[in-house]
Amino acid sequence: MDYAVGISGTSRQNLLSLQGTAALSSINQTRLNTGKSVNSALDDPLKFFTAQSLTDRASALTSLLGGMSNGIQTVQAASKGIDTMIDYMKQLQSVVQQAQSNIAQNLPTAASNALASAVEVTAVGGSARDIAMNKTVLGTAAAAASATNNGNLGLPPTTMGTGPNATKVATQASIQLKAGSSTYTFDVDATDKVGDVVAQINKSGIATASVDSQGKLQVTGVGSDPLTIAFGKVNGPGVATPTVDKPGTFVADNANTTKLFGTAAANSTATPIVATAGGSAARSALVSQFNSLRDRINEASQDASFSGVNLLNGDRTTVVFNEKSGAGQAKLDIQGTKTNTTTLGIGVMQDSAAAATGADFSIQNNADLQKATNALSGAIASLKSLSGTLSSNQSIIQTRQDFTKNLTNILKTGADNLTNADMNEEAANSQALQLRQSLGISALSLANQANQGVLQLLR
């Protein structure tokens, strides 16, 4: 048999009030513990899902910050590599400048020849240099200078060709200078003197000439390429044997070349005078220094990598800026450039007087040293340009990195504004609910006391 216990309406109302207070206290305690007023979709679906979307995007953007940081470090590694390469390039420039400082030792100089004798100086009473400079170059026979005659060297005029113009040029000869790829040829007329020959050589841009105080002629190349000097003729039209002596070609008269310019280290009566520059030991010592620094440049280029990516080795890196994909994705592609001494046009230094081929240089060759100077200046300019491009890319990444950090903070703040609880309000609610619960318990107690009074009457 079931028994039902009756509860007065007042007590039941008080119990319901206490249950409601307990429920509100539970919600209040959850908010105080989590700091959020919306903890699930049941609390407020719109705020909950909006805040969740903002938080998810903030998390996605935060995950991209690591890639941006790696991109910056990759660019910085390449930039530091370029700085190091430029420092080495400047040291190479110093080596080249040291080599250029002793240029005089490497100029080819033809052996001198006495153009005025002591007898002539005594007879005429002038200086040996003046006598030599005033001598006529061409003549049927050599003649000493005297009080009434300037004298002449007696070099024969050369008939250039056997055609209709032969008589017109029968009193001329030619002198040819060659150094490297440069050639300079000029005519000597019957009235030309040694001084005129000196002036023509000085106009050539290939060599310089002078007569010293002893009446000796010296010819010195302006560069370090071997200098070839020859006296002879240039064939005119109508030559008898065009297959051998073509019109316009220079034919050397080797015996008379020796008479005018003297003997040289490689002198032979069968060839023109060849003046070869002497090698410089100081320059030779700089070859290994140059090539060692060149190797250091390549090492710096190879070591300028970060996390396996080396922009100086032609690698490519991509930095992603947003969480989207496809056409909506924001990113920066950085294509590296293979950068080393080969691509920069800095070849190997050789200990040679002959001009080197390609991008290489000969340290004993003055023209090659200038070529090295120009190549190094161009290489430094190229490296600085590449450094500027990398700096621009780094600035772009850093700006976007700062933007992403700020945007992430905005998204998180927006999400918090939707879901965070007002802790001051919740603390006040907690106090109010505690008081409410206490009053409810007191009211229930009073109701029970009233019921007990009725029970006493029944007894």
What is the spatial distance between Cα 259 and Cα 430, in angstroms, rounded to a whole number?
123
Phi-psi region of 382 (alpha: psi -120 to 50; beta: other; left: phi over 0): alpha
pLDDT at 267: 36
Please say if the pLDDT value at position 169 is more than 60: no
Query: What average pLDDT does range 101-119 have in this prediction?
Result: 77
pLDDT at 165: 46
Which amino acid, 218?
A: Q
Q: Which of 27-41, 59-73, 163-177, 437-451 has the lowest mean pLDDT?
A: 437-451
pLDDT at 241: 47
What is the spatial distance between Cα 154 and Cα 76, in angstroms, rounded to a whole number?
75
Tens of pLDDT, residues 370-382: 999 999 999 999 9
**Contact status, residue 367 vs residue 96, Cβ threshold 8 Å:** no
Answer with the residue of higher pLDDT: 154 or 163. 154
Q: Is 191 exposed, middle or buried (0-12, 13-18, 19+ CB in 10 A)?
A: exposed
Please say if the pLDDT value at position 328 is more than 80: yes
**Contact status, residue 390 vs residue 82, Cβ threshold 8 Å:** yes
Q: Which of 212-221, 350-359, 416-425 has the lowest mean pLDDT?
A: 416-425
pLDDT at 334: 95
Answer with the residue of higher pLDDT: 457 or 164. 457
- pLDDT tier for residue 240 given thresholds of 50, 70 and 90: very low
Answer with the residue of higher pLDDT: 262 or 24. 262
- pLDDT tier for residue 348 given thresholds of 50, 70 and 90: very high
What is the spatial distance between Cα 440 and Cα 16, in angstroms, rounded to a whole number?
10
**Contact status, residue 61 vs residue 411, Cβ threshold 8 Å:** yes
Q: Taking the model in full, what pTM does it have?
A: 0.63
Residue 74 is encoded by which pair of tokens?
């990759």
- Residue 316 to residues 67, 133, 398, 413: CA-CA distances in angstroms? 14, 70, 18, 36
- Rounded to the nearest 10°, the torsion over CA 117, 120, 122, 125 is -120
pLDDT at 361: 95
pLDDT at 83: 97
pLDDT at 426: 58
Q: Which helix (H) or strand (E) holds 217?
A: strand 216-221
Answer with the residue of higher pLDDT: 234 or 321. 321
Please say if the pLDDT value at position 176 is more than 80: yes
Please say if the pLDDT value at position 187 is more than 70: yes
Domains of the chain: 77-105+281-394 (1.20.1330.10), 113-275 (no CATH)
pLDDT at 336: 94
- pLDDT tier for residue 7 given thresholds of 50, 70 and 90: low
Q: Which helix (H) or strand (E) holds 117?
A: none
pLDDT at 166: 46
Please say if the pLDDT value at position 360 is more than 80: yes
Q: Which of 253-267, 321-335, 400-414 has the lowest mean pLDDT?
A: 253-267
**Contact status, residue 172 vs residue 189, Cβ threshold 8 Å:** yes
Answer with the residue of higher pLDDT: 311 or 43. 311
Query: What average pLDDT does range 347-359 have in this prediction?
Result: 89
pLDDT at 388: 95
Q: Which of 59-68, 149-158, 260-269, 289-298 has the lowest mean pLDDT?
A: 260-269
Contacts of 120 (CB under 8 A, 6+ apart): 128, 131, 144, 145, 146, 151
- Per the prediction, the chain carries an average pLDDT of 81
Contacts of 230 (CB under 8 A, 6+ apart): 175, 176, 250, 252, 253, 254, 257, 272, 273
pLDDT at 78: 96
Residue count of the chain, please give it.
459
- pLDDT tier for residue 226 given thresholds of 50, 70 and 90: confident
What is the spatial distance between Cα 331 and Cα 329, in angstroms, rounded to a whole number?
6
Answer with the residue of higher pLDDT: 21 or 211. 211
- pLDDT tier for residue 421 given thresholds of 50, 70 and 90: low
Residue with tokens 């909506």: 328
Query: What average pLDDT does range 260-277 have in this prediction?
Result: 59
